[in-house]
Structure 1
Amino acid sequence: MNDPFLTLSDLEDHVWDRLAQGAANADDPFRFVTLATMGQDGPEARTVGLRRADRAASEVEVHSDLRTAKVRALAVDPRATILLWDAATQVQVRLRVTLRLVASDPIRWARVPPLARLNYGTDPAPGTPVDMPEVVTRTPDVARFCALVGRVHAMDALSLAHDPHRRARFADGQRHWIAP
C-alpha cells in the first residue's frame, strides 16, 4: 500500500476511505469511535459505532437511544468531536462535526441489525440508577432510536508511525500540513 501521508490529496482520500470502511465493516478499527460532546456538567466522551460515512455530503452518522444524556446535550449544543484511532497503523483522525438529530426514522431503523436494535430499548432509560444490573431489560423500539448525523467541518489526521510524526488539517475547503 502506498503511504497516504505523502500528499494532502492522497491523505484526504485515504481518511474518507477509512471512514467508509469503518462504517461498513464491524471489525475495522474505525468502526467504534469516541464521540465527545459538551454535557450539562462539562465535557463528555463515549464510544459509539460509526454507521455511515458520506464524503459527497461531508457527513458521518452514529446512532443512539433517544433518551440518553448525550441526545439531550446535543439538542442544546450540537457541536461535537469524533475521535478515531487505528493502533496497527498508528493513525489518529479527529472530526469536528455539527450533529443533527434524526429521531425514530423507520428507513434507518430497517438497516440496523436485529442484535444492534437491542441497544435502543433498555428499560429503564439509559443513565437511570438501578439496584442491580439484572433488572435492566432490552426491548427494541424505533421510538427510542435516534440517528446523529454529523456534518464534518474539519478533519485532523495524525500519523505516529512517521518520524517525525505527520499531521494535516482539512477545513473550510483548505488543506494544510501542520506541526504534530
Structure 2
Amino acid sequence: MLAVVIALFLFAASCNTPAKETDTKTTDVSAVTTEQKQVIEQEISGLIKEFFQQVEKLDIETCMTYFENTPDFQAVNPDGTLGDYDALKKLNADGFSQMKTLSVVPTKEVIRVLTDSLVLYTFSMEQDATLKTGQKIKYEHVAGTMLFSKINGAWKATFYHESAAAPVAVK
C-alpha cells in the first residue's frame, strides 16, 4: 500500500514539473531580421510564381515537386475531402486531364513568415479553363493556403488547403 501511495505521489509530482525545453534549429519570427524576412519572402514569391506556371502548363509531375511527399503531408481539397500527397496528386491529375488550357490569375497573395523555416502562403485567384471538349469554364473564387517548411535547404509545401466555388460556364 505504501508503494502505491509513493508511486502516486511521484506521478503527481512529475505531472507538475515543467517540461524541459529542447534546442531547436528554428528561429522564431521575432528573432528573424527584416533582411532575412525579405529574403524568405522573395524565395517563396519566386517559388509560387514557378509553381503557378507549372499549374498553367497542366504538368502534374512538376507541380507535385513543390510538395513534400511524406506521410505527414496533409491536403484539404476543394470538395472538402482530406487527403495525403497521393490523393492530392490524383485529384489534380484527374482535373488536369480534362483540360486543354488553364490560366491562373492571382487576385491577392499574402506571405507570412512564421519562423526562419516555416512560411504561410495564402492566395485568392480566378482560373479560366478550356476543357478538351471545347467548353470554357471559369472558377471565379478560388482561395488556398500552403504551409512551407524548409527541408534540407529547400522550401516544400507540407500542408495545402484549397477552397473553390463551383465553376461557371463561359459562352
TM-score normalized by structure 1? Answer: 0.32
Q: Which has the higher helix share?
A: 2
TM-score normalized by structure 2? Answer: 0.34
Of structures 1 and 2, the larger Rg is shown by 2
